Amino acid sequence: MEELTFSVKKGSEPTELEAQYDLVILGAGPAGLTAAIYAARAKLKTLVVEKEVIGGEIASTDMVENYPGFPEGISGAVLAQRMEEQAKKFGAQIYQGVINRVELKRDAKMINLDGKKIKAISVIVATGTSPKLLGAPGEKEFKGKGVSYCATCDGPIFSGKDIAVIGCGSSGLQEGLFILKFVKSISFVEFLPTIQAEKILQDRIKEYENVKFYLNHQVLSINGDKTVQSITVKDRRSGQTKEIPVSGVFVYVGLIPNIDFLKGELKLNNWGYIIADERLQTSIPGVFVAGDVREKDIRQVATAIGDGAVTAASAGEYIERLKR
């Protein structure tokens, strides 16, 4: 069969994307980049596909403090950049584009990227998760006009202003601590009656006087004219409502696995996460899963990186068996 090639992006350098790879990794977060490092270093012909930012969610995280080897912490963007550079160093190619469709049940896996077809012996799904929408009136209307899901991206915009953070899990408090560098005050709103974040984050946030917590409260609406001006919340115990003046709303109410492109190809659990065995093989031979998109209890950078190493080894063994 004639070998097809077409141009793609590899960082800022052009490269050629080929029609056939040993391994295609879908997602360039910590799990996908780690898998790429291990696979490319093992001399597997490796392609990494990412539709958003290289590094995934970690690239928009101000400071990572619980990744081993960095006692003072490290910027999420810097950590992601180093992972990308290391994967490229060993020969992995990185393509930034959209996964239109996949066909994984055949021996030769097919991935349609921006309308172009490539084949792979094995595939690792490491597409991660996306922020869950709050679902309140005004959220969609004011997205980018006061409603945000990324503190690192948009926190400085609200310098000297009052803002709200929706969600008191670890993500909400961690991002809130970053935003406090800029804003006048934060009103934290949590649907549950207690703060769900790690204890160390709770202790840190309590050191600030310009924060207020509305626990056991529901956001009824996000209000404004051309931009956000307030939120309306309801006390779930008393039923009383209150309007809180704010100029920005940062939403951290959970995550949704990025699996739309799979269209029933793989077995999922009730929440849409991909099910795998201890070798991280999915319901289809030769297809593996790593990182936050898989069914597991703990979703952290360290666990994603562990998944990446396991899937690269598992995929390598699978590829070697087929080549023999």
Assess whether pLDDT exceeds 70 at residue 126: yes
pLDDT tens digits for 137-148?
999 999 999 999
- Mean pLDDT over 295-304 rounds to 92
Selecting among 22, 62, 114, 154, the annotated active-site residue is 154
Whether residue 31 contacts residue 39, with contact meaning beta carbons closer than 8 Å, is answered with: no
**Can you give the CATH number for the domain in which 232 is found?**
3.50.50.60
Task: Write down which residue in 232, 251, 270 finishes a domain.
Answer: 251
pLDDT tens digits for 39-82?
999 999 999 999 999 999 888 888 888 899 999 999 999 999 99
Greater confidence (250 vs 4) lies with 250
| Spatial separation of the C-alpha atoms in residues 235 and 233, rounded to whole Å | 7
Q: Is the domain of 174 the same as that of 245? A: yes
Told to judge if 260 belongs to the known catalytic residues of this protein, a careful annotator would answer: no
Assess whether pLDDT exceeds 50 at residue 10: no
Assess whether pLDDT exceeds 50 at residue 2: no
Q: Is the domain of 156 the same as that of 224? A: yes
- Mean pLDDT over 278-307 rounds to 96
Assess whether pLDDT exceeds 50 at residue 11: no
Q: Can you read off the two tokens belonging to residue 48?
A: 């990494």
Q: What is the pLDDT of residue 308?
A: 98
- The total domain count for the chain is 2
Phi/psi for 64 (5° steps) reads -105, 115
Q: What is the pLDDT of residue 324?
A: 81
CA angle (99, 322, 46) in 5-degree steps: 40
Q: Which residues of 184-193 are buried (b: 16+ CB within 10 A; e: fewer)?
A: eebbbbbbee
pLDDT tens digits for 232-260?
999 999 999 999 999 999 999 998 999 99
Confidence band (pLDDT; 50, 70, 90) for 271?
very high
Task: Write down which residue in 210, 233, 251 finishes a domain.
Answer: 251
Q: Is the domain of 145 the same as that of 161? A: yes
- Mean pLDDT over 154-160 rounds to 93
| Spatial separation of the C-alpha atoms in residues 173 and 190, rounded to whole Å | 11
| Spatial separation of the C-alpha atoms in residues 210 and 227, rounded to whole Å | 23
Q: Is the domain of 16 the same as that of 125? A: yes
Phi/psi for 106 (5° steps) reads -80, 165
Q: Is the domain of 272 the same as that of 227? A: no
Selecting among 62, 114, 150, 235, the annotated active-site residue is 150
Task: Write down which residue in 235, 251, 267 finishes a domain.
Answer: 251
pLDDT > 90: what percent of the chain?
82
- Residue 54 amino acid letter: I
CA-to-CA separations, 116 to 16, 91, 97, 99, 100, in angstroms, rounded:
13, 22, 11, 10, 9
Q: What is the pLDDT of residue 106?
A: 86
Q: Is the domain of 64 the same as that of 120? A: yes
Whether residue 256 contacts residue 132, with contact meaning beta carbons closer than 8 Å, is answered with: yes
Q: What is the pLDDT of residue 158?
A: 96
| Spatial separation of the C-alpha atoms in residues 307 and 16, rounded to whole Å | 28
Selecting among 153, 203, 260, 277, the annotated active-site residue is 153
Q: Is the domain of 294 the same as that of 313? A: yes
- Mean pLDDT over 160-171 rounds to 96
Q: Is the domain of 189 the same as that of 299? A: no
215 forms beta bridges with 190
Q: Is the domain of 18 the same as that of 123? A: yes
Assess whether pLDDT exceeds 50 at residue 3: no
- Its domain, for residue 30, covers 5-130+255-323
Told to judge if 153 belongs to the known catalytic residues of this protein, a careful annotator would answer: yes
Q: Is the domain of 278 the same as that of 242? A: no
pLDDT tens digits for 184-196?
999 999 999 999 9
Q: Is the domain of 175 the same as that of 219? A: yes
Place of tokens 């996964």: 99
Confidence band (pLDDT; 50, 70, 90) for 18?
confident
| Average pLDDT for the chain | 92
Q: Is the domain of 199 the same as that of 295? A: no
Q: What is the pLDDT of residue 270?
A: 94
Whether residue 22 contacts residue 316, with contact meaning beta carbons closer than 8 Å, is answered with: no
